[in-house]
């Protein structure tokens, strides 16, 4: 025969702690508990190797209960595990029991209850219901003299625990479990030390015993609750805990005063909880909601006003900066064009006035595209005027030379050419004048009076302006435009300027969408805008469809909201679709949108005849 000595080995178990308790398994595996911060070792009988847990922690006792749970007593409470794969978890116990106590010894009785000695005394714990019963000084147990690893269960079922002054022995079957929970009542509520009486002008409309909610002002944030747990079996051992949810981090012990006081609690939504237990650890709880309202300057309504004021200020500054930039640019342009003809200069000033009106009245970012479209439209006739003027200047010089020579037949031929050129100059000058007048008609301040107007012509004109506006900014952009305008519609009564603005917003958005998708350089992709009109009974249906990236479903219901935009910062104000929506509604019509992300969008305008 021989003894096998398992020594502390830094290479294997990394443990030098004092062995305080051992527990063997049917498989031959061994659990080894240590003091001096040695933690817990698990010896695998098959591999003859060690695994370590609770490193740096002092242990005191080990118990494997009848359900297979391994209980580990430490100097900081009780831990348990059924499967090592899940690790150890701390047993949650009420304050003042074994939550943070030094566990000294443990034993399981015949009823599968775990008896624990700790700083609180002798504690009975039900692992299945988590019921905790503490037997301390009220049972003449001096917890300060209990000793570690001294627990023992006799053959008769009695349990023994050692102490410095002897030992304690008891029969667990003699301890009857009281399952009746105490009645928890809130007996008083006070603000600033003054008890509150129920009434119509009071924060309490019913007695505090029956109240479920208390509404307080921001200046009523110093308050207290008085409470009691009523149970007559052993009232001296009733326990009371309280907590103000969303304020307290953990449950507080009430002590003998049984009053919970709070000072300078910030505005918010809280729930006051108070619970009490009988001498056998059966708990009951009572809750009451406490809502402290903030001062008016910290309410959501006030924050909305602050946000609105900030947006208005930011928008005003943006408008001012934008107007300043536009003004500076116009001044530079006017300096370069002073030499142009009087009619062109007049058209320029009228166009500038129109642009300013659009900025002030429509509050949207389509002004740049509109200006570019007009500039493109008048550029061609202006080029003809300049070219024919230069040709005439050369012909006049040539005619003077022929006069000096006396060659009057050549003079007559040159004069005829000059006259033909003058006719062309007048034609293209009138063409430019008509374009400017047409633009001024659509961009002037709306009179609010409806006029008989050809919707097809209006849609075609604004579609062309929107396209030229984008082309003026990006010469590389091209798009296929498809028109299917029902000629049977005829004229309808509308406010042309307003409907024109609404259409321009839709066209600009569609061109922007297909242009953004074109930048992705998708193989085989061709930007396409389709505009159609048709008459359905007494309704005119105008459709604008594109094959851009579409609108995500999650924001589809927001696109008509003011200031909502999907464009990058600085490229959109979020007012275009909102104003279009209001214009169509003001005409008694309706605007709808259908979109599929990645495939495109379709806006449908319905106007009554």
Q: At what angle do helices 367-405 and 342-362 cross, to 10 degrees?
A: 180
Q: For 248-252, 347-351, 400-404, 544-548, which range has the lowest pLDDT when averaged over its residues?
A: 347-351
Domain spanning 183-298 has what CATH number? 2.60.40.10
Residue 2 pLDDT: 79
pLDDT tens figures, 551-565: 888 888 888 887 677
DSSP for 320-380, written as a single string: HHHHHHHHHHHHHHHHHTTTS-HHHHHHHHHHHHHHHHHHHHH-STTHHHHHHHHHHHHHH
pLDDT reported for residue 11: 53
Look at 474 and 434; give whichever has higher pLDDT: 474
pLDDT value at position 444?
A: 52
Pick from 40, 6, 4: nearest CA to 21 = 40
Computed over its alpha carbons, how large is the radius of gyration of the chain?
Answer: 45
Inter-helix orientation angle 342-362/300-336, to 10°: 170
Measure the CA–CA gap between 428 and 434, rounded to whole angstroms.
10
Q: Answer whether 0.85 is exceeded by the pTM.
A: no
Start-to-end Cα distance in the chain? 113
Closest CA to 357 of 312, 311, 326, 313: 326
d(CA 132, CA 214): 33
- Specify the range with the lowest mean pLDDT, choosing from 260-264, 318-322, 501-505, 565-569: 565-569
Q: Tell me the three state secondary structure of residue 41.
A: strand
CATH 3.40.720.10, applies to 58-174: no
CATH 3.40.50.720 given to domain 451-608:
no
Q: Which residues pair with 597 in a beta bridge?
A: none
Helix (H) / strand (E) element for 115: namely strand 114-118
pLDDT tens across 372-411, in order? 555 655 666 777 677 767 767 777 887 788 788 778 778 7
* Residue 536 scores a pLDDT above 50: yes
CA dihedral (497, 502, 505, 510) positive or negative = negative
List pLDDT tens digits, range 422-439: 787 777 776 666 556 555
């Amino acid at each position: 025969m021989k003894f096998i000595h398992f020594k502390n080995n830094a290479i294997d178990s990394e443990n030098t702690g004092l062995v305080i308790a051992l527990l063997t398994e049917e498989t031959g595996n061994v659990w080894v508990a240590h003091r001096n911060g040695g933690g817990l070792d698990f010896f695998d009988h098959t591999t003859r190797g060690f695994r370590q847990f609770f490193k740096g922690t002092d242990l005191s006792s080990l118990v494997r209960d009848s359900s297979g749970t391994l209980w580990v007593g430490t100097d900081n409470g009780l831990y348990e595990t059924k499967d090592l794969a899940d690790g150890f978890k701390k047993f949650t116990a009420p304050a003042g029991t074994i939550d943070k106590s030094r566990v000294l010894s443990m034993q399981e009785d015949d009823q599968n209850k775990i008896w624990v000695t700790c700083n609180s005394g002798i504690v009975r714990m039900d692992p299945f219901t988590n019921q905790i019963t503490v037997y301390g000084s009220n049972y003449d147990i001096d917890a300060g003299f209990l000793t570690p690893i001294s627990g023992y269960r006799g053959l008769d079922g009695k349990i023994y625990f050692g102490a410095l002054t002897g030992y304690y022995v008891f029969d667990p079957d003699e301890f009857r479990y009281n399952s009746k929970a105490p009645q928890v009542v809130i007996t008083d509520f006070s603000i600033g030390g003054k008890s509150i009486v129920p009434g119509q002008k009071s924060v309490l409309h019913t007695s505090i015993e029956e109240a479920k909610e208390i509404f307080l002002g921001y200046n009523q944030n110093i308050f207290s609750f008085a409470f009691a747990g009523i149970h007559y079996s052993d009232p001296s051992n009733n326990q009371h805990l309280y907590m103000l949810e969303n304020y307290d981090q953990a449950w507080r012990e009430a002590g003998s005063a049984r009053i919970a006081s709070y000072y300078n609690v910030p505005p918010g939504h809280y729930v006051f909880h108070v619970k009490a237990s009988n001498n056998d650890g059966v708990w009951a709880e009572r809750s009451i909601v406490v809502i402290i309202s903030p001062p008016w300057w910290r309410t959501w309504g006030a924050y909305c006003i602050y946000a609105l004021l900030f947006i208005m200020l930011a928008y005003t500054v943006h408008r001012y900066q934008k107007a300043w930039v536009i003004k500076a640019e116009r001044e530079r342009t006017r300096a370069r064009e002073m030499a142009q003809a009087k009619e062109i200069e007049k058209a320029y000033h009228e166009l500038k006035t129109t642009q300013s009106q659009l900025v002030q009245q429509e509050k949207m970012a389509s002004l740049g595209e509109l200006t570019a479209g007009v500039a493109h439209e008048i550029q061609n006739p202006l080029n003809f005027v300049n070219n024919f003027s230069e040709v005439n200047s050369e012909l006049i010089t040539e005619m003077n030379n022929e006069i000096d020579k006396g060659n009057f037949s050549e003079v007559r031929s040159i004069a005829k050419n000059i006259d033909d050129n003058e006719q062309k100059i007048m034609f293209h000058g009138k063409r430019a004048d008509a374009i400017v007048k047409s633009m001024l008609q659509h961009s002037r301040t709306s009179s609010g009076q409806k006029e008989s107007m050809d919707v097809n012509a209006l849609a075609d004109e604004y579609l062309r302006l929107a396209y030229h506006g984008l082309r003026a900014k990006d010469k590389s952009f091209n798009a296929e435009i498809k028109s299917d305008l029902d000629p049977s519609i005829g004229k309808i009564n509308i406010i042309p300027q307003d409907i024109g603005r609404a259409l321009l917003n839709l066209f600009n958005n569609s061109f922007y969408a297909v242009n953004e998708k074109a930048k992705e350089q998708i193989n085989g992709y061709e930007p396409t805008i389709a505009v159609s009109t048709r008459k359905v009974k007494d309704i005119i249906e105008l459709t604008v469809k594109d094959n851009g990236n579409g609108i995500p479903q999650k924001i589809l219901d927001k696109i008509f909201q003011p200031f909502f935009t999907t464009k990058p910062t600085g490229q959109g104000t979020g007012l275009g679709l909102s104003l279009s929506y209001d214009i169509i509604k003001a005409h008694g019509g309706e605007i709808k949108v259908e979109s599929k992300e990645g495939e495109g969008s379709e806006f449908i305008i319905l106007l009554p005849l």
